[in-house]
Amino acid sequence: MTEFDFIRKYLQNQQQDHQVVLGIGDDAAIVRPKSGYDLCFSADMLLKNKHFFENVLPEDLAWKVLAVNISDMAAMGAKPKWVLLSAGLPELDENWLRRFCNSLFDLAQRFGMILIGGDTTRGDLVFNVTIIGELPQGQALRREAAKIGDDIWVSGKIGLAASALNCLLKRCELPSEVFQQCEAELLRPMPRVALGQAILNLAHAAQDVSDGLAQDIGHILTASNVGAEIWAEQVPTLPQLKESLSRGQWLQYTLAGGDDYELVFTAPESCRGALEAASQQTDTLITRIGKITDSGRLKVVNSVSDGLEIALTSLGFDHFG
Ligand code: ADP
Ligand code: MG
């Protein structure tokens, strides 16, 4: 199979979208924005042995490559629409590529997204996705918008993916059912697109949890020039996971693990009822885990009632740390 066979056979025959003026096949794609909307762009790169293991199934790999990018759109409150996929592939293994593409298009179609271009070269296995989303003009959820007194909320359950990863790296042990539940989150995170859009007019600041909850909240604090208090015991978890880990491991994986692809956002107290409604309407668990404060720093305490401060050894993942 040649590069051009691959493009023709696997990439070109997709459902259409009336905003795509020109899709795959020319030197560049053209999309037409809707009036009254902003376009939102993001890119994320995934490297072998850094973001995925070499022996990962092509279905799981494709899912993760796209899901982590969709998650950035969710964090802006945007609707993901178009994708460009650049791939370095050691060879064009048709069976592997078919499985990869089936999974990629399965996830793309769930969100009504279209692959409009990319690049394919021979090389070490690497992917870079550029994703384009759409959102009502001027309404994006930005990191700089947190206000003192805001509640801090998080979606889903935190720390499962990091626990699975640490288990694979032999840094902890988990009962097999617990491991399987955690590994599913590590391999196939489900980006919170519906929630992101549902909180557009309610939340102040938002971001997705990719590198560790504490570190990612830290980005909101820095951008908004505020502080926060987080209540560790209120952070949603899997009870069996918490029982299986030491207290130190649980705190580390939950507060500083990463790979969750949940949303963390701030909103005024007056929005609590509307947020609970948005949570129900989008069938997405949300939990209040802290407050934005004027302290200028992130303070992690054991629980809201005891206020005992916890010192974390690391706040999250840093590629150059
Ligand atoms: P160019 O020479 O301009 O780089 P290519 O021959 O590489 O063009 O690509 C031909 C068409 O196929 C282009 O529309 C490009 O966007 C698309 N394409 C190539 N690789 C991919 C890929 N991995 N995913 C999606 N589209 C791709
Ligand atoms: Mg090319």
The CATH code of the domain that includes 108 is 3.30.1330.10
Q: 321 in a domain, yes or no?
A: no
Nearest residue by C-alpha to atom 4 in ligand 1: 119
Q: 141 in a domain, yes or no?
A: no
For 299, left (φ over 0), alpha (ψ -120 to 50), or beta?
A: beta
As a whole number, mean pLDDT of residues 108-128 equals 96
88-108 b/e (C-beta count within 10 Å ≥ 16 → b): bbeeeeeeebebbbebbbebb
- Kindly tell me if the per-residue pLDDT of 321 is higher than 90: no
Examine the domain organization and report whether 187 and 269 are in the same domain: yes
Q: Is 28 in the pocket of ligand 1 (CB under 6 A)?
A: no
The CATH code of the domain that includes 253 is 3.90.650.10
Examine the domain organization and report whether 123 and 154 are in the same domain: no
Q: Is 85 in the pocket of ligand 1 (CB under 6 A)?
A: yes
Given 111, 136, 161, the domain boundary residue is: 136
Are 64 and 188 in contact by the 8 Å Cβ rule? The answer is: yes
Q: Is 130 in the pocket of ligand 1 (CB under 6 A)?
A: no
* 40 Cα: distance to centroid of ligand 2 (angstroms): 24
Examine the domain organization and report whether 10 and 131 are in the same domain: yes
Distance in angstroms (rounded) separating the CA atoms of residues 162 and 313:
16
Q: 317 in a domain, yes or no?
A: no
Examine the domain organization and report whether 157 and 253 are in the same domain: yes
Q: 34 in a domain, yes or no?
A: yes
Given 105, 136, 167, the domain boundary residue is: 136
Locus of tokens 């939950």: 254
What ligand 1 atom has the least distance to the C-alpha of 120?
A: 20
Examine the domain organization and report whether 74 and 179 are in the same domain: no
Q: 313 in a domain, yes or no?
A: no
Q: 320 in a domain, yes or no?
A: no
Decide: residue 233, CB within 10 A, 0-12 exposed, 13-18 middle, 19+ buried. middle
Given 136, 165, 193, the domain boundary residue is: 136
Q: What are the residues facing 155 on neighbouring strands?
A: 286
Distance in angstroms (rounded) separating the CA atoms of residues 131 and 197:
16
The residue segments making up the domain with residue 64 are 3-136
Examine the domain organization and report whether 178 and 249 are in the same domain: yes
Examine the domain organization and report whether 113 and 158 are in the same domain: no
Q: Is 24 in the pocket of ligand 1 (CB under 6 A)?
A: yes
Q: Is 26 in the pocket of ligand 1 (CB under 6 A)?
A: yes
Examine the domain organization and report whether 41 and 122 are in the same domain: yes
Examine the domain organization and report whether 22 and 85 are in the same domain: yes
Q: In the chain, what percentage of residues exceed pLDDT 90?
A: 92
Of 9, 12, 119, 120, the residue with max ligand 1 atoms within 8 A of its CB, to mutate for a pocket test, comes to 119
Examine the domain organization and report whether 76 and 168 are in the same domain: no
* 3 Cα: distance to centroid of ligand 1 (angstroms): 9
As a whole number, mean pLDDT of residues 303-320 equals 79
Q: In this predicted model, what pLDDT tens digit does every residue of 232-248 receive, in sequence order?
A: 999 999 999 999 999 99
What ligand 1 atom has the least distance to the C-alpha of 87?
A: 23
Residue 16: pLDDT band (50, 70, 90) is confident
Residue 140: pLDDT band (50, 70, 90) is very high
Neighbours of ion ligand 2 (CB under 5 A): 119
Ordered alpha helix ranges (H), 190-233: 193-198, 213-224
As a whole number, mean pLDDT of residues 258-278 equals 98
Q: 26 in a domain, yes or no?
A: yes
For position 225, what pLDDT does the model report?
98
Decide: residue 2, CB within 10 A, 0-12 exposed, 13-18 middle, 19+ buried. exposed
Of 21, 65, 120, the residue with max ligand 1 atoms within 8 A of its CB, to mutate for a pocket test, comes to 120
What Å distances lie between residue 264 and 24, 97, 207, CA to CA?
Answer: 35, 34, 6
Nearest residue by C-alpha to atom 27 in ligand 1: 118
Q: 85 in a domain, yes or no?
A: yes
Q: In this predicted model, what pLDDT tens digit does every residue of 167-226 receive, in sequence order?
A: 999 999 999 999 999 999 999 999 999 999 999 999 999 999 999 999 999 999 999 999
For position 1, what pLDDT does the model report?
86
What Å distances lie between residue 57 and 1, 97, 103, 156, CA to CA?
Answer: 21, 11, 10, 25
Residue 320: pLDDT band (50, 70, 90) is low
Shortest-distance ligand to the CA of residue 130: 1
Residue 257: pLDDT band (50, 70, 90) is very high
Distance in angstroms (rounded) separating the CA atoms of residues 277 and 268:
15
* 39 Cα: distance to centroid of ligand 2 (angstroms): 24
Shortest-distance ligand to the CA of residue 118: 1
The number of domains in the chain is: 2
Nearest residue by C-alpha to atom 11 in ligand 1: 25
Examine the domain organization and report whether 285 and 197 are in the same domain: yes
Locus of tokens 């209540």: 231
